[in-house]
Structure 1
Amino acid sequence: MDISLYYQERGTGIPFILLHGNGENGEYFIHQIEHFYKNYRVLAVDTRGHGKSPRGTAPFTIEQFVEDLNDFMNELGISEAIILGFSDGANIAMKFALKYPHKIKVLILNGGNLNPRGVKRTIQIPIEIGYKITKAFAGKSEDAKRNMKLLGLMVNEPNIKADELQSIHIPTLVIAGTKDMITLAHTKEIAKNIPNAKLSIIEGNHFIANKVSKEFNKEVEIFLQTVI
């Protein structure tokens, strides 16, 4: 690994890894850290090139983030963890579950998508326009180059086939908001293809973990109590 990921850690017990979304950092999960550290060893990780984690020289892709997570767990001697991923973090978690299923005790997917078509067009079109603009200026500005890389993750990735999810035999909660930027049909498709996954839709937008944390944490807590 060319870098070491920055992370916040609180609590003891079963490791509970939190993976934030595109352009964010572990601070997004402040309400989950506060809630779950009482019963779990909570680790909120900053993805490569996000927050306080360095960019490094490796590719800026979901696949690389999966390898970064694997290296992170190995570095800390974590053989198995609960993994909660939000947005791009959920996409990393899905890909991680496909490659390293033995390292996940429980999988929680919040606002993830299999491909860019899962995002509502009203959201995706401005992202695509922004990507083209930043791409045009990437050679002249480091900020534009960074933004191009971030937007590129949402324009070009992820690329997961629905039937691939059928190989995931891990207790899984798929959770999203009623007004999520991911279409409800797409969220349902993810839940349907993961054997025995539980689907939970709660009132709110894409950012339910942060904005309606009490309801979000309750759903996660109830699910964990039924599977651990």
Structure 2
Amino acid sequence: MPYISINSRVRLYYEEKGNGTPLLFIHPPGMGHVVFCRQKPLARDFRLILYDMRGNGRSSPSDGPITVPLLADDLSVLLRSLGIGRAIICGYSSGGSVALDFALRYPQHVKQLILIGGFPEVCTPLLWGEFWLGISAAKLRAIPLLSLALALGHGTNQRERRLLRRYAQMANKRDLEAAYRAGLVYRCTEQLSSLRLPVLLIYGARDRYIHFYITIFRRYVPHAGVVLIDQARHQIPTKHSEEMNLPHLCL
């Protein structure tokens, strides 16, 4: 299995396939790289890179407190270890916070930033509630229940649901709680105006509780492109992969 070492205690699991422009996906806490299983056809056009953040899936537990900048630094080490100077960085849901932090602090390594259902801060009641549900599930050791909810919400068939559920149960409970807490307090809204690189925002047309954040992005990043996927809610990578996997979206 391919791993890269962050240090002597933390290793990250990754998979890569294909050639061309590097395209890397960042998952939200608990889901691991398997949430992008339907993005693998993109390897026909890109050098596709999927990985598990520390504390998730096959990667090591964290050796210190998890923060969004720490996860972004891990990404920097991963790209450097793979010999990648610039890549398209795509973050899904709260994985978008890691993508944003990386783009803000390492813009020279980002060819394009893509956020799927992304947000620069948690400032709406429904999103705040979702984070606290994740924190509570991890704190109360209700990972089986959380994994079931994630699998049912994202899976499109029984096999996919089993895979997603099994992978979510591999998350380190302490790190999962810490990752949810880190995402809850992360805020980069005022820094967004410094983004000069290409930005693409992808949202589900029916994911209305997250649409408020489109307004924020349009204010601070007026050059960002916005794509609304018809009939989609939040779970775009699995449930609307055909629309999302159009190569022109990543150019």
Give the TM-score taking structure 1 as reference length.
Answer: 0.84
Query: What is the rounded CA distance, in whole Å, between the counterparts of 1:74 and 1:31 in structure 2?
Result: 26
Structure 1 residue 117 displacement after superposition: 1.1
Between 1 and 2, higher relative CO (CA 8 Å, sep ≥ 6) is seen in 2
SS of residue matched to 2:44: coil
Query: What is the rounded CA distance, in whole Å, between the counterparts of 1:52 and 1:83 in structure 2?
Result: 21
Aligned length, in residue pairs: 215
SS of residue matched to 1:37: helix
Q: Are 2:217 and 1:210 equivalent residues in the alignment?
A: no
Q: Are 2:180 and 1:151 equivalent residues in the alignment?
A: yes
Measured on the aligned residues, the alpha-carbon RMSD in Å equals 2.4
Query: What is the rounded CA distance, in whole Å, between the counterparts of 2:179 and 2:84 in structure 1?
Result: 28
Q: Are 2:106 and 1:77 equivalent residues in the alignment?
A: no
Which residue identity does 1:179 align to in structure 2? R
Structure 1 residue 124 displacement after superposition: 3.0
Query: What is the rounded CA distance, in whole Å, between the counterparts of 1:222 and 1:9 in structure 2?
Result: 20
Structure 1 residue 79 displacement after superposition: 0.7
Seen in structure 2, the aligned counterparts of structure 1 residues 133 and 71 have a Cα distance that, compared at 3 Å, is closer
User: What does 1:77-156 correspond to in 2, within 5 Å?
Assistant: 77-118=83-124, 121-125=125-129, 127-128=131-132, 131=135, 135=139, 145-154=174-183, 156=184
Which one is further off, 189-198 or 96-105?
A: 189-198
Deviations 1:132-190 (A, max 9, x none): 575578xxxx9753443243234x332112x3111111111011112327521212312
Q: Is the 8 A contact 1:172 1:198 kept in 2?
A: yes
Which residue identity does 2:224 align to in structure 1? A
Which ranges of structure 2 fall in alignment gaps of 5 or more residues? 1-5, 142-170
SS of residue matched to 1:105: strand
Select 1:166's aligned residue among 166, 180, 193: 193
Which ranges of structure 1 fall in alignment gaps of 5 or more residues? none
Query: What is the rounded CA distance, in whole Å, between the counterparts of 1:93 and 1:213 in structure 2?
Result: 20
Deviations 1:4-45 (A, max 9, x none): 3111111011111111112111111111122x1011110011
Which one is further off, 178-187 or 11-20?
A: 178-187
Structure 1 residue 74 displacement after superposition: 1.1
Give the TM-score taking structure 2 as reference length.
Answer: 0.77
Deviations 1:69-104 (A, max 9, x none): 011111111111011110122111111111000000
Corresponding position of 2:15: 8
Q: Are 2:32 and 1:32 equivalent residues in the alignment?
A: no
Seen in structure 2, the aligned counterparts of structure 1 residues 145 and 170 have a Cα distance that, compared at 3 Å, is same
